[in-house]
Amino acid sequence: MEDISLQSRIDVLTEQQVLIQDSAVAFIAQDEELKKTRESRFVQPGYDQQTWQEMAELGWLGFLIPEQYGGIGLGFDDLHPVLIQLGKGLLPAPFVATAVVAASVLVNCDNEAIKKDRLPALVSGAWKPALAWQETQGQMSVEAEQLRIVDGKLSGKKAFVPDAGGADDFIVSAGGDKGTELYLVNKGATGLTIDYEQRIDGGFYARLSFDQVDVGELLAGTDRAEQVLESALDEGRVAASVELLGVMTRSLEITVDYLNQRVQFDKPIGSFQAIQHKTVDLFILSEISRSVVLQTIALLDGDASAHDRAVGASQVKARCGDAALQITKSAIQLHGGIGYTDEANIGLYLKKAMYLASWLGNATAHRARYAELTL
Amino acid sequence: MTEETTNQYNAMDDDEFRAMVHTFYVENYPQELRFSPHRMHWDEIGDWYLTLSKQGWLTPAWPAEYGGMGLDANKLLIFMDVGESYGVGRTPDMGITMVGPLLIQHGSQQQKDHYLPKILAGEYIWCQGYSEPGAGSDLASLQTSAVRDGDHYVVNGHKTWTTLAMDANMIFMLVRTNKEGKKQEGITFLLVPLDTPGITVRPIINLGMHDEFAEVFFDDVKVPVANVVGGENKGWTIAKALLGHERIFIGSPKFAILAMSRLKSMAKSVGLFDDPIFVERYTRLQLDIEDLFATYKRFVEVLKRGGNIGPEVSMLKIWNTETQQRVTELMMEAASEHGGIQGGIETEEGLVRAAGEFIGSRPSTIYGGSNEVQRNILAKAVLRLPG
């Protein structure tokens, strides 16, 4: 399939980025037909453990983790070609949730013993944490309200924890007398109940119910917990946006390919101006998204303030969330009847966009956050 | 401007550079010309052109060796942003944004030596003779003819939509030098002094009730052969290169930023920021502009690396002009009854004419190649969809 993005026309990748991109392209090409993606739909844990192990062997799980904890210590500029390919290949793996969001919390937390013990295991693929911070739908504040700490025990609920089925431990935010704290809680802890909900893309969200659960290991106290969380979530928003960029780029490629193949009225339907103009508008959206993605990863890799990172994260998530939905839903329309079948892969892109666009705040929520931070 | 000054500007801290530019505007730009609702004529804004010329700030994007500021992409955006925020008006700038860059790329040494200093000094003010009554979107079908007669061409025909022709003393134009074969291959790029006998300029009143553009008639006009740029019948290639310059200029976020700053002034003064529905719509547009900014920077970086921008630049034109229109549409709607008056709403930053802004943003999706034509270009040249 032809690369129609402007990346090859106008952007410059470093030698290292090209190497990383090539290996990611090759990795995704193993399942071009999306067979594995389909097989893991609605089957716990929603992804293939062997694929996860292969990603560990490629070093991807340690990209953002400093060398002293067994990682490679690279930045988002080097990670982004991987994230784009994960989106293009609809890879069913909790990469962003685990190797970006949870990893970020751990790297920035204050528990040195846990960092030394667990981060190398995360990098090797042997251990997976899942972050349970959210309590209500549409929540943007990182303050823990429902999950309370009383006498060293956790009671309350967490919601929308992605890909918890394959996780070993939970990073949990909880509210005490003085504010929010972060703990590492074992998945098998007494009093912890997990309910799963199928996501539209075939993965799972979990709801966690805590009934007098032992707090486990303290990761960050009230002085830093919210700041560590906010930063991790913003990195997750950016990473999810890059993955969305991959989703929209690929669905556009598939669609353009289809417009060249599909013949009606004795012509390829891509020759009709109504179709061309609609497709051009989708292309523009994808490139606007790419520009913001490139700008935002440079922001994250630089020394921007937490405020500026938050503004950038909301800007990119608002754009990529909206653009991915617009592009994937239009892709269905441009495919006609076949686009509405489960058999055609294009629908899988729409569903991935629906999940990623709504996770960690949808476009409306991020525009509101952007307005709050900038007006 | 010397290489040294250029390096000094580009090495400046962003905030320091911003402050320097802002201070200059505050001290030198006429207060009464801030946020002009219409494109100003030479008798209004000519002095400002000359002020910029004296300061060496007329041509921020030209390389230093040709007398430009030679700003890098980042500084160029700051320069533009400060000007827009302060409401600095646009000069008759065709020489600065189009002819200069074109001659730097395609002109002969003699042409560069002759024309560039005169553009910088404000001696030559330019207008563009492309469109004709019968050649709009289908520009290559233009009929204005230039027939060779010794050292001269004799030009006959009729150009239209010629912006600020009444203020210009030079026109750069496309003429037909060959009626045989492919229509693109019989076009020549010509530089013509407007005081040449046989040229008549007739102003056209636009929807903004302003004589911003004009028709230009050519009746047996003699033009020296030396005034051709790029060779006889090679004009189409040059014109396309120039349209590239124009599109990156039209694609620059400045017009959308300007419209947004007007909307903001109005919103503050009317108390619209207390309305959550308005805030959502405003933020959506603010992000459209921020994201355009990110895209524009990405394109400008290509130029700064010495690369070429191809047909993909059309996306900038589409996004910028349609964003600008969305801003003025919200402005008109949020102004309620003021959206239907000739005048405007008094704000701390001066009068905001919502209806005037709305009207004023209409032609941007038409000129410089209509947005429909831009979409055709992207579909064929970038997405490579079938014809």
Query: Do A86 and A165 belong together in one domain?
Result: no
- The one catalytic residue in B84, B246, B329, B349 is B246
Report how far Cα B61 is from the mean position of its chain's Cα atoms: 13
Q: How far is B185 from chain A (nearest CA, A)?
A: 26
Instruction: Say yes or no: A292 contacts chain B, CB-CB below 8 A.
Output: yes
Domain residue limits at A312: 226-374
Query: Do A282 and A364 belong together in one domain?
Result: yes
What are the pLDDT digits (tens) for B243-293? 666 666 667 787 888 899 899 999 999 999 999 999 999 999 999 999 999
pLDDT confidence band for B3 (50 / 70 / 90): confident
Name residue, tokens 């026309």.
A9
Instruction: Supply the ipTM of this predicted assembly.
Output: 0.94
- Which pLDDT score is estimated for B233? 96
pLDDT greater than 70 at residue B227 = yes
Superfamily of domain B251-382: Butyryl-CoA Dehydrogenase, subunit A, domain 3 (1.20.140.10)
- Which pLDDT score is estimated for B380? 96
CATH number, domain with residue A22: 1.10.540.10
Query: Do A235 and A362 belong together in one domain?
Result: yes
Active site residue B322: no
What are the pLDDT digits (tens) for B11-23? 999 999 999 999 9
- Which pLDDT score is estimated for A65? 98
* Domain boundary, last residue among A189, A222, A255: A222
Superfamily of domain B126-233: Butyryl-CoA Dehydrogenase, subunit A, domain 2 (2.40.110.10)
Query: Do A13 and A31 belong together in one domain?
Result: yes
Query: Do A147 and A210 belong together in one domain?
Result: yes
Query: Do A145 and A213 belong together in one domain?
Result: yes
* Domain boundary, last residue among A172, A192, A222: A222
pTM listed for this prediction: 0.91
Flag the least confident range among A16-25, B233-242, B367-376: B233-242
Query: Do A166 and A258 belong together in one domain?
Result: no
Q: Are A82 and A240 in contact (CB under 8 A)?
A: no
Q: What residues of chain A lie within 8 A of the CB of B379, using their CB?
A: 273, 276-277, 279-280
Query: Do A349 and A361 belong together in one domain?
Result: yes
Exposure of B344 in the CB half-sphere (CA atoms within 13 A): 23
Residues with pLDDT less than 70, chain A? none
Q: How far apart are CA B328 and CA B339, in angstroms?
A: 10
Query: Do A238 and A329 belong together in one domain?
Result: yes
Query: Do A170 and A238 belong together in one domain?
Result: no
Does a structural domain hold residue A2? no
| A–B interface: beta-carbon pairs under 8 A | 107
pLDDT greater than 70 at residue B1 = no
CATH number, domain with residue A340: 1.20.140.10
Task: Look at chain A and report how many structural domains it folds into.
Answer: 3
Instruction: Say yes or no: A333 contacts chain B, CB-CB below 8 A.
Output: no
* Domain boundary, last residue among A222, A240, A267: A222
Q: Specify which residues A157 forms β-bridges with.
A: A209
Domain segments of chain B as ranges: 3-91, 126-233, 251-382
pLDDT greater than 90 at residue B304 = no
Q: How far apart are CA A273 and CA B376, in angstroms?
A: 8
pLDDT > 70 in chain B, percent? 98
Point out the residue among A280, A367, A370 whose CB comes nearest to the CB of B379.
A280
Instruction: Say yes or no: A294 contacts chain B, CB-CB below 8 A.
Output: yes
What are the pLDDT digits (tens) for B51-88? 999 999 999 989 999 999 998 877 887 898 899 888 89
Does a structural domain hold residue A1? no
Instruction: Say yes or no: A280 contacts chain B, CB-CB below 8 A.
Output: yes
CATH number, domain with residue A207: 2.40.110.10
CB atoms within 10 A of CB B240: 13
Query: Do A139 and A11 belong together in one domain?
Result: no
In the stretch 228-287 of chain B, residues with CB closer than 8 A to chain A read 273, 279-280, 282-284, 286-287
Query: Do A247 and A335 belong together in one domain?
Result: yes
Does a structural domain hold residue A120? yes
Q: How far apart are CA B381 and CA A162, in angstroms?
A: 42
Q: How far is A370 from chain B (nearest CA, A)?
A: 8
What are the pLDDT digits (tens) for B190-217? 999 999 999 999 999 999 999 999 999 9
Q: Specify which residues A193 forms β-bridges with.
A: A209
SS (H, E, C) chain B: CCHHHHHHHHHCCHHHHHHHHHHHHHHHCCHHHCCCCCCCCHHHHHHHHHHHHHHCCCCCCCCHHHCCCCCCHHHHHHHHHHHHHHCCCCCCCHHHHHHHHHHHHHCCHHHHHHHHHHHHHCCCCEEEECCECCECCCHHHCCCEEEEECCEEEEEEEEEEEECHHHCCEEEEEEECCCCCCHHHHEEEEEEECCCCCEEEEEECCCCCCCCEEEEEEEEEEEEHHHEECCCCCHHHHHHHHHHHHHHHHCCCHHHHHHHHHHHHHHHHHCHHHCHHHHHHHHHHHHHHHHHHHHHHHHHHHHHCCCCCCHHHHHHHHHHHHHHHHHHHHHHHHCHHHHHCCCCEEECCEEECHHHHHHHCHHHHCCCCCHHHHHHHHHHHHCCCCC
Best probe of the A interface among B264, B281, B290, by most A CBs < 10 A, is B290
